[in-house]
Structure 1
Amino acid sequence: METRNTFQKNMIMEQVRRLPHPTAEEVYDAVAKIHPAISKATVYRNLGAMSESGLISRVKIPDGADRFDKTLSKHYHIRCKECGGVYDVDMPYFEGLENEVTDTHGFEIDSHEIVFVGVCPDCKIKKRGM
């Protein structure tokens, strides 16, 4: 059983590394093409466990499905509002930014996640061609 479990985890990890910021559904679809007997629950459960244990990162996308990222260092993301693609942002992570927030609601802020929103280059080209 452990061999199968390791095999499944390896397939899932391979897809997270191969696909750009995939959703759980995208990982499942890719793994199922290789190993049709795998269940969606197995993929989702493993992605959750892998992100909780720090093997991969979970990127929470406002108004969208969570994404998974092979990059473990803290960084920002941008989501295309046209196609929904998620990409890394090439800028430094601002350590301690949460300490600069003035809170009037009583929160104790301990971290931050920022997802920028815009239009990717491919979608800009498609919009111009309309």
Structure 2
Amino acid sequence: MRTHEQPATDSDLADTLHARGQRATSQRLILYRALRELDRHATADELLRASAERLPNLSLPTVYATLELFEELGLVRRVAVEAGPALWDPRVDPHQHFACRSCGRVIDLDVPARAGTAMAVARAAGHAPDSAQVVVVGLCRDCAHGPADV
């Protein structure tokens, strides 16, 4: 599997987990499937609710632990936007985010992230950065234009 390619099926995810020395538990498969099916940036709470029918005994700490493992393995990205809980992004390819300060939506921007500059600045300051993310904040198209005038 290429660096930014996402597992498309449970079988692909199981293969990826096994190749990286991890077990493909039903909880891991169901949580990853829930994130893919939501098809948006989701909080751990939203993923817990989305998985509740299939995993009624699933706990929030288990959801967080699983998401953090997925992040370590490069299967998801944690997106931090101003105040509020972390969002989990099923897309791991280079892209930026737009966060609407009115409705709270986080929208993918299909522009290659220009993280190189931020990484270089951090290195020049003596830090050892692993990654950088760009989050543009403002009003989304819907909130900026409001309801259509009739």
Correspondence for 2:95: 75
Residues 52 and 102 of structure 1: is their aligned pair in 2 closer, same or farther, counting only changes over 3 Å?
A: closer
- In the alignment, does 2:27 pair up with 1:8? yes
The equivalent residue for 2:17 is none
Q: What RMSD in Å do the two structures reach over aligned CA positions?
A: 2.8
Structure 1's unaligned 5+ residue stretches are: none
Deviating more after overlay: 25-34 vs 6-15: 25-34
In the alignment, the residues of structure 1 paired with residue 95 and residue 37 of structure 2 have an alpha-carbon distance, to the nearest angstrom, of: 19
With structure 2 as the length reference, what TM-score do the two structures score? 0.69
- Looking at structure 2, the residues matched to 83 and 116 of structure 1 have their Cα atoms a distance apart, in angstroms, of 14
The CA deviation string for residues 83-126 of structure 1, in whole angstroms up to 9 with x for no partner, is 2111111222225212664999x453634321111222333455
Match in the other structure for 2:138: 118
- Is 1:18 the counterpart of 2:40? The answer is no
Residue 44 of structure 2 aligns with an amino acid whose one-letter code is A
Structure 2 residue 70 is matched with structure 1 residue 62: no
* 2:99–2:107 Cα contact (<8 Å) kept: yes
Q: Give, in whole Å, the separation in 2 of the partners of 1:100 and 1:49.
A: 27
- Is the Cα–Cα contact under 8 Å of residues 115 and 134 in structure 2 kept in the other structure? no
How many residues matched?
125
Query: Structure 1 pair 109/13, CA: closer, same or farther in 2 (3 Å)?
Result: same
- Greater RCO between the two (CA within 8 Å, min separation 6)? 1
- The alignment partner of 2:25 has SS state of helix
